[in-house]
Amino acid sequence: MEFNFLGRAFKGDKVIWCIFIALCIISLLEVFSATSTIAYRQHNHWSPILRHGAFLLIGFFVVMFLQRIPSRFFSVLLLGLPVSALLLVITMFMGEDVNGAQRWLGIGAFTIQPSEFAKISAIGFVAFFLSKMKPENENWIFNTLIIGVGLLCLLIAPENLSTACLLFGVCFLMMFIGQVKIKKLGMIALIGISGILLLLGSLAIVPDDIAKEYLPDRLATWKNRIERHSNEGQVAVTDLNEDGTLAYKITDENYQVSHAKIAIANGGVIGLPGSGTERDFLPQAYSDFIFAIILEEMGLLGGLFVLLLYVALMVRCGVLASKCEKKFPRYLILGAGLILTIQALANMAVAVNLIPVTGQPLPLVSRGGTSTIITCAYFGIILACSSKLNDAEHEDVDESIANVDFESFDSMEKNLEG
């Protein structure tokens, strides 16, 4: 009776459910630890984790609701594309500036991040049109996808270039999986790579004083981040220890990266559970750099476990997609799995200083509002698309049992007795 109740309550793939619950537990533990600076400012030890727990609870109910919706109804995400575009335009002019970026839109007492709605809308948009693609309409669908996704990414890019690149990359991979002609994709890839190289080259040759004076604030920020990352590890000759050896000096430019490295070094193999110190020094320890806190408090083993959870998520999404007979849920599963996994890898790469700071949160683990709920929506979509597969498997089992010839077993038993 109990297992039947759980089966009815928690639909969809059980592996995805296990990954979701594991990430939620890790999120509660690490955000509780990493929000010490917020608790100190608010003079309330429980306020930050209660806020985060409330958003996780809302996200859980979102998952429970979405898992019961037939996958065909997710085509409504098409309507989210123009709505998201409108919200992004409004945010450009009326958005709230937080940490030097105008990414949030205030609605009453709440703030939302339109780029998160844009991401999930774009996934549904691409999945829907790929599912309708045939040889006779391939050109029209390809042009529609490029225009729709390209416009959305252009609206996101001025304030959040990393999110725009992430979204376009995921949509590009979905088109590749959807068997759009390689020639068309190659042309888009060539244009995109050329544009990025041109932008990086232009930023590299512009002097710092001119960049600060004439370039938009976000362009100047990109230039500084790229330069800091490329110069990381270089120490001025004047920075010397008493014995004459070079000394590593923590400055305003390398502050985040330096404390992330200290956190990783402190953690070692097994970590310092609940005893990390860099949470008090590392900016955005509960968001952009939460993986560094995970490595400090859970050690290398804990960090590998979190990494494997996201890898397992992508692998399982691939397995589920391969079982889908219909194209739309197949592409939805793959799109949701890709955007969660690639965003997670980007966050981890920033924490260990493989790439410049991007501002991408660790899905479901980092402290957030809109991002947490939308991430839960991705899981809900995956579970909804996989629940049909589970129902089909159970039906196959029931049919196979019903088709068993029990009379043959009876005759076999009589022969053995004889």
Question: Which pLDDT tens digit goes with each residue over 93-141?
Answer: 887 766 666 677 877 667 788 889 999 999 999 999 999 998 888 899 9
Q: Identify the burial level of 325 via C-beta atoms within 10 angstroms of its C-beta, where 0-12 means exposed, 13-18 middle and 19 or more buried.
A: exposed
Stated as kind and residue range, the H or E segment containing 101 is: strand 101-107
Each residue of 37-80: pLDDT tens digit? 787 777 777 888 899 999 999 999 999 999 999 988 999 999 99
Residue 406 pLDDT exceeds 70: no
pLDDT value at residue 401: 34
Percent over 90 (pLDDT), the chain = 41
Each residue of 312-335: pLDDT tens digit? 999 999 999 999 989 999 999 999
Residue 212 pLDDT exceeds 70: no
Task: Compute the average pLDDT of residues 77-91.
Answer: 91
Residue 238 pLDDT exceeds 90: no
How sure is the predictor about 210, in pLDDT bands with cuts at 50, 70 and 90?
A: low
Report which of residues 249 and 344 the model is more confident about: 344
How sure is the predictor about 357, in pLDDT bands with cuts at 50, 70 and 90?
A: confident
Dihedral through CA 176, CA 180, CA 181, CA 182, nearest 10?
-10
Residue given tokens 């000096």 in the structure block: 249
Q: Which two tokens stand for residue 253?
A: 């430019």
60-74, 235-249, 303-317 — which is least confidently predicted?
235-249
Task: Compute the average pLDDT of residues 24-39.
Answer: 87
Task: Compute the average pLDDT of residues 336-360.
Answer: 90
Residue 404 pLDDT exceeds 50: no
Residue given tokens 């709230």 in the structure block: 96
The per-residue pLDDT of the chain, averaged, comes to 82
Report which of residues 254 and 331 the model is more confident about: 331
- Provide the CA 316 distance to its chain's centre, in angstroms: 16
How sure is the predictor about 145, in pLDDT bands with cuts at 50, 70 and 90?
A: very high
pLDDT value at residue 162: 86
**Ramachandran angles phi, psi of 367, nearest 5°:** -70, 130
pLDDT value at residue 417: 47
Any residues with CB less than 8 A from the CB of 136 and at least 6 apart, and which?
Answer: none
DSSP 177-234: HTT--HHHHHHHHHHHHHHHHHHHHHHHHS-HHHHHHHS-HHHHHHHHHHHHHHTTT-
pTM of the model: 0.84
Q: How far apart are CA 268 and CA 93, in angstroms?
A: 46
Report which of residues 365 and 42 the model is more confident about: 365
Task: Compute the average pLDDT of residues 234-262.
Answer: 68
pLDDT value at residue 195: 82
pLDDT value at residue 152: 93
pLDDT value at residue 400: 39
pLDDT value at residue 11: 80
pLDDT value at residue 332: 95
Residue 346 pLDDT exceeds 90: yes
Percent over 70 (pLDDT), the chain = 77
Residue 418 pLDDT exceeds 80: no
pLDDT value at residue 402: 38
pLDDT value at residue 98: 66
Q: Identify the burial level of 8 via C-beta atoms within 10 angstroms of its C-beta, where 0-12 means exposed, 13-18 middle and 19 or more buried.
A: exposed
**Closest C-alpha to 336, from 297, 305, 377:** 377
Q: How far apart are CA 404 and CA 408, in angstroms?
A: 9
pLDDT value at residue 359: 78
Residue 168 pLDDT exceeds 80: yes
Report which of residues 200 and 351 the model is more confident about: 351
How sure is the predictor about 271, in pLDDT bands with cuts at 50, 70 and 90?
A: confident
- % helix / strand / coil in the chain, to the nearest 5? 70, 5, 25
pLDDT value at residue 390: 56
pLDDT value at residue 147: 94
